[in-house]
Amino acid sequence: MPEPAGKAMDIQTKLSRHLSKKEEKKMKLAHIVCLSLALMAGSAGMTLKAQTGKGYFLHTVAKGQSLYSIANTYHVSVDDIVRLNPGSDKQIRMGETLKIPQTNQDSNRKEAIFHTIQAGETLYQLTVKYNVTAQAICEANPGLSASNFRIGQVVYIPSQTTETAPAASVQETVQPKQPEWKEMHKVKRKETIFGICKEYGITQEELVAANPSLKNGKLRKGMYLFIPYPRTEQSDSRPALTEEMPTNEELFSQNRPAATKMSVVKAALLLPFTVSENGITKDNTRMVEYYEGLLLAADSLKRQGVSLDLYTYNTQGSKSVMSSILKKPELKNVDIIFGPVSLDNIPLAADFAKKNNIRLVIPFEPQVGQVFNTPQIYQINTPQSYLYSEVYEHFIRKFSRCNVVFLDPANGDKEKADFLTGLKNELHNSHVTFKQIQLGSAIDPDKVIGAMDTTRTNIFIPTSGRGSALTRLLPHLTLVRREHPNFDMHLFGYPEWQTYTQEHLASFYELDTYFYSSFYTNNLFPEAVDFTQSYRRWYSKDMANSYPKFGMLGFDTGYFFLKGLAQEGNKLEDNLDKVKVTPIQTGFKFERVNNWGGFINRKVFFVHITKDFELIKLDFE
């Protein structure tokens, strides 16, 4: 009997329909099984063996990814990727498709593989194809949802186990929908959409439907295209499912944990509060300041009614000490851990966090390989490739109509080579004009003016961030500014410039300067004033004059995560954008690195030191 209108069909009811068919229906489906197996065997020679676990799968490069991060994501080496993608060691671009070798990356899951979602595929079809439950896939991919389950996304498929495998009777009566594509095609130089369609006997509409990225009509050499079955083959080549299957929305909603609140937030700090030098143990000043800042955050939240339990351990930077701390029974029950610092201790903490499903905030280290495969990790210090990609995006957005001039101080300094190479590539791709000039010790205003476009805004970017380079370059620019006050010119630079204000601040004001940073505070900000006064009152001292200030970092990270857990409970990861805080120094913009990994902070500020003697922090959403 049909369901009453408007009543949602229960998933188990849908599946049971397949189990209650008459014998003739079983015979019909058995025939379909044979036909499907024959088709699958016939496709063994296809160009792409992505989903067999024996060949490779496709990865679409996301913003900020490097070969290092992609290799860590899939437990392969950079050489493995380059071998399948010649030239990728020179440059990879966002949106580019790479072939990744399929490997048995988890010794505890004998056949765990990665699957690239194809056109028309659903979560239910993956459960049938790989003989695993929707719950197992959802748990293995906490970043996957009905809203981002789309073509090109890579899904981590856990291996079949007795506990997770669907019932055998369901597998016998339900066949997965065959792929919506017949094979893959790698675009060659000068190929056109018309030519490819003619080669495979399909229409342009069919090709675009299978490859939505072609709606702009652009082909790039080396990109992969899904080649769909021609309509004339569809009815004969692929058996269609007539039964209604569970939707992605239904399966994801039924396989996510229910929301729970935390009456008491339990947090632990695992930090090296002491260090040993020449047999003498002394305080690790930066870690002590971080702890002191976090205590101020905890006090602020407690005064707002948040209940907290805080456990603090001194790891001493030692692997053996860290191992003994992780054996303490109370640690298994905390909600979040801050730390550690040592590269030797991070893998231990990451394994512990993953095993016990505890959030792990790593505040200091910029290279945390475990973030690509540990969903509980939050990495605060942005890795270089992700940081640069954010800077490029904001730079192009703000200065796309400007004339960009790179200033070489003629001393062979290459410390910003990676940043500059990437920025120049982005400028070229965005059709922003730029040039580079070399300036020596002799002041040469004509050379500067010759590189300018006096009808537009000019942005000058030194190729070195060192103070010595500024000392050499700034006199050239300030002389031009003074002789031609109507010229529209600005200086753009680097995070370390906030440490040079004592010697170069006057020139920064005069040249209307910008620099990027993932941390910044103005001591005149009301929040910074309040914090500095509270810190001095609590600890009878001032923070060390360093950048970043570790006391402020401790406050910002502690306040954000402790407030977030008190406010959102176990649904913090789904509601990070709802945790509203005013950072003193460090802002937060967390994004998952992949569907089965953790979070990286991608927040970047531009600081504007204006010619009107103002300090403005430009915050980008």
| 445/377 same-domain check | no
Residue 595 in domain: no
Report pLDDT for 279. Answer: 78
- Both structure tokens of 359: 């959030």
Residue whose entry in the numeric block shows the structure tokens 């970017």:
461
Q: How far is CA 226 from CA 41, 99, 182, 298, 483, in A?
A: 19, 14, 8, 53, 60
| 125/245 same-domain check | yes
> Among 254, 287, 322, where does a domain finish?
254
For the chain, how far is it from start to end, CA to CA, in angstroms? 52
What is the span of the domain harbouring residue 471? 385-517
| 274/241 same-domain check | no
Residue 2 in domain: no
CA-to-CA distance for 500 and 494, rounded, in angstroms?
11
Residue 610 in domain: no
| 485/470 same-domain check | yes
- Backbone conformation region of residue 374, classed left if phi is above 0, alpha if psi is from -120 to 50, else beta: beta
Report pLDDT for 189. Answer: 82
Cα-to-chain-centroid distance, residue 525? 30
Phi, psi (deg, nearest 5) at residue 185: -130, 130
| 228/291 same-domain check | no
Report pLDDT for 48. Answer: 38
Percent helix / strand / coil, the chain, rounded to 5? 40, 15, 40
Instruction: Please state whether the peptide bond connecting residue 4 to the residue before it is cis, i.e. omega within 30 degrees of 0.
Output: no
CB-CB contact of 408 with 436 (8 Å): yes
> Among 471, 491, 517, where does a domain finish?
517
**pLDDT digit string, tens, across residues 537-551:** 999 999 998 889 999
Residue 81 in domain: yes
**pLDDT digit string, tens, across residues 230-289:** 765 554 444 444 456 889 999 999 888 889 999 999 999 999 999 887 778 889 999 999
pTM score, whole prediction: 0.80
| 464/545 same-domain check | no
| 341/459 same-domain check | no
| 245/155 same-domain check | yes
Residues in the chain with pLDDT values less than 70: 1-54, 104-112, 160-184, 212-213, 215-217, 231-244
Residue 502 in domain: yes
437 - beta bridge partners? 407
> Among 517, 549, 568, where does a domain finish?
517
| 138/58 same-domain check | yes
Residue 339 in domain: yes
Report pLDDT for 233. Answer: 54
422 - beta bridge partners? none
Residue 1 in domain: no
Number of compact structural domains in the chain: 3
| 456/478 same-domain check | yes
CA-to-CA distance for 1 and 9, rounded, in angstroms?
13
Give the count of alpha carbons within 13 A of 553, CB side only: 23
| 111/222 same-domain check | yes
Cα dihedral 299, 303, 304, 307 sign: positive
In this structure, what CATH number is given to the domain that contains residue 466? Answer: 3.40.50.2300
Report pLDDT for 213. Answer: 67
| 305/206 same-domain check | no
Q: What residue spans of 309-358 are helical by DSSP H?
A: 319-326, 346-356
Residue whose entry in the numeric block shows the structure tokens 């190479």:
421
Report pLDDT for 23. Answer: 43
Residue 602 in domain: no
CA-to-CA distance for 178 and 150, rounded, in angstroms?
17
